[in-house]
Amino acid sequence: MNIGKDKSKLTQFIKDNLTIIGFFILMLALHKIMTFIGDDIGYANVLSNQSLTDFISFRYHEWSSRLIIDCITVILAKENYIVWKILDIILYTLGVYLVIKFINKDNNKYVALIGVSLFLMYPFFDMAGAGWIATTLNYLWCFVFAMISFIPLINEINGKKTNIFIYIISILSLFYAVNQEQSCLLILGINTLYLIYCIVKKQDISRFNVLIVIVSALALTMILTTPGNAKRVIVETARYYPEYVNFGIIEKLYLGTIPTIGILLKDKVLFTVFYIILTASALLKTKNKYLKYILYFNIILILFLVFFKTLIDISSIPEYLNIGLMHNPTVVSAFSAVDSISKCIPLIYDTLSLFAYKGLPNAVTGSAVLAVLISIYLILSSCWMIFKTFGKEQMLPLILFIAGFMSRLAAG
End-to-end, the C-alpha distance of the chain in Å comes to 62
Dmax (CA) of the chain: 78
Average pLDDT, the chain: 83
State the pTM of this model.
0.77
Each residue of 7-39: pLDDT tens digit?
677 777 777 778 888 899 999 998 888 887 888
Each residue of 80-112: pLDDT tens digit?
678 999 999 999 999 988 888 887 766 777 777
pLDDT confidence of residue 59? 93
Q: What are phi and psi of 204, to 5 degrees?
A: -60, 135
pLDDT confidence of residue 326? 52
CA 64, distance to chain mean position in Å, is 21
Sequence-distant (6+) residues with CB within 8 A of 162 are 151, 152, 155, 156
Q: In the Cβ-directed half-sphere of 57, how many Cα atoms lie within 13 Å?
A: 5
Sequence-distant (6+) residues with CB within 8 A of 231 are 62, 63
Q: What gap in Å lies between CA 190 and CA 120, rounded to an integer?
A: 25
Q: What gap in Å lies between CA 229 and CA 235, rounded to an integer?
A: 10
pLDDT confidence of residue 48? 87
Each residue of 372-404: pLDDT tens digit?
889 889 989 988 998 888 776 667 677 777 777
